[in-house]
Amino acid sequence: MSQLITLDEFIISKQAEHPESTGELNQIFAAIKLAAKVLNREINKAGLVDVIGSSGIENVQGEQQQKLDVFANDKVKAALMARGHVAGMASEEEDSFVAFEDPYSQSGKYVVLTDPLDGSSNIDVNVSIGTIFSVYRRKSPLNSPVVLEDFLQPGNQQVAAGYVIFGSSTMLVYTTGSGVHGFTYDPSIGVFYLSHENIRIPDQGQIYSVNEGNYLKFPQGVKRYLKYCQEIVPEENRPYTSRYIGSLVADFHRNLLKGGLYMYPSYANAPNGKLRLLYECNPLAWMAEQAGGKATDGHQRILDIEPTELHQRVPYYIGSHNMVEKVESFLQEFPGGAE
Ligand code: AHG
Ligand code: MN
Ligand code: MN
């Protein structure tokens, strides 16, 4: 790397290309960056201090909250609340949306949706986890409390989206609609440096990522597609390689850089799969598209789905353009559900 460019400098240089922008988004990034640094510090101490394990509480979706889920949610919320441009947030770990009460926040134009800690099952075992965020312009009038309608917007209305991945290094990767850019954290001086400018996902990859333990419960099209991935066809680089971490952020990040397909299909007893449209699927779908990839529910573009509830789930196929189209063609050709 010949030049050292920080996240702040990069955002300011991008803003100069859009003089109509007032810099409010920069404040939101400042909040996310701050929360990321605090989380990075705590996650790196996991095992030494009392941050791993269950909090003993269930979230509204019936999932056990881990201590770090709660910690991450609180830090993201506190960081956003302290900056006037965000009027409210919705989070996987909150029962409902949170309307910030102070007048400074209520004058804000934006709302933020977040999965504060993605990959909870990996916290205790030192495997990559992440934080996902998504920013929208509110629909309700300024200087009033935010309402549900502010959060139930289709993903094609996002103004910024991204994630922080806590892996072998910590990275912040985001889009505001002009490409996807990645920054690597130097913890010794607390700075995110531009390391991956304008990431492009290969049109065709060799990796498929799915929880294959659910195989027997998958739709027919997915079963057939998985067999296609495993066929020996050297001229098409098949069989593909199977890689599944169980942290969406980490699986997505790897596939974004290397090319690949991540799937969380519907399965018997879970017609909408597991992943949450607003906190997980929409932000990564926009990033995939901005990098030249694709994201669908098997039939429809994720970003065009009109949400009807905050914690809505949706089947998810995301990654390299040609691979998403291929699995869609299998779903069309073999339309049956799980046997
Ligand atoms: P979260 O930790 O935010 O609840 O998300 C977990 C999600 C996602 O990160 C991951 O890809 C998927 O759940 C893993 O689910 P399975 O264990 O069912 O494969
Ligand atoms: Mn998640
Ligand atoms: Mn989570």
* The predicted structure's pLDDT at residue 20: 60
pTM score, two decimals? Answer: 0.96
Ligand 2 geometric centre to CA of 121 (Å)? 10
In total, the chain counts a number of residues equal to 339
- Strand pairing class (261-264; 207-209): parallel
* The predicted structure's pLDDT at residue 178: 93
* The predicted structure's pLDDT at residue 21: 65
Ligand nearest to the CA of 120: 1
**Whose CA is closest to atom 11 on ligand 1?**
248
Q: Strand, helix or coil at 314?
A: coil
Ligand 1 geometric centre to CA of 120 (Å)? 7
Ligand nearest to the CA of 62: 1
Report how far residue 23's alpha carbon sits from residue 33's, in angstroms, rounded to the nearest whole number: 15
* The predicted structure's pLDDT at residue 16: 75
Amino acid at 319: G
**Whose CA is closest to atom 17 on ligand 1?**
246
* The predicted structure's pLDDT at residue 84: 82
What's the token pair of residue 123?
């916290």
**Whose CA is closest to atom 12 on ligand 1?**
246
* The predicted structure's pLDDT at residue 150: 98
Q: Are 310 and 151 in contact (CB under 8 A)?
A: yes
> Does residue 59 have its Cβ closer than 6 Å to ligand 1?
no
Amino acid at 138: R
Roughly what angle, to the nearest 10 degrees, separates helices 321-333 and 220-230? 130
Query: 7-196: which CATH number, 3.30.420.40, 3.40.640.10, 3.30.540.10, 3.30.70.600?
Result: 3.30.540.10
Query: Rounded to the nearest 5°, which phi and psi values hold at 204?
Result: -130, 130
- CATH class of the domain whose range is 207-333: alpha beta
- Burial category of 95 from C-beta neighbours within 10 Å (exposed 0-12, middle 13-18, buried 19 and up): exposed
Domains of the chain, by residue range, sit at 7-196, 207-333
> Does residue 254 have its Cβ closer than 6 Å to ligand 1?
no
Ligand nearest to the CA of 280: 2
What's the token pair of residue 252?
């997505």
Ligand 3 geometric centre to CA of 95 (Å)? 13
* The predicted structure's pLDDT at residue 61: 82
Ligand 2 geometric centre to CA of 141 (Å)? 31
Tens of pLDDT, residue by residue, the chain (339 residues): 567 999 999 998 887 776 666 678 888 999 999 999 999 999 988 777 777 788 888 888 888 888 899 999 999 999 999 988 999 999 999 999 999 999 999 999 999 999 999 999 998 899 999 999 999 999 999 999 999 999 999 999 999 999 999 999 999 999 999 999 999 999 999 999 999 999 999 999 999 999 999 999 999 999 999 999 999 999 999 999 999 999 999 999 999 999 999 999 999 889 999 999 999 999 999 999 999 999 999 999 999 999 999 999 999 999 999 999 999 999 999 998 776
Amino acid at 171: M
Report how far residue 32's alpha carbon sits from residue 8's, in angstroms, rounded to the nearest whole number: 12
* The predicted structure's pLDDT at residue 64: 82
Which 8-state DSSP code applies to residue 190? T
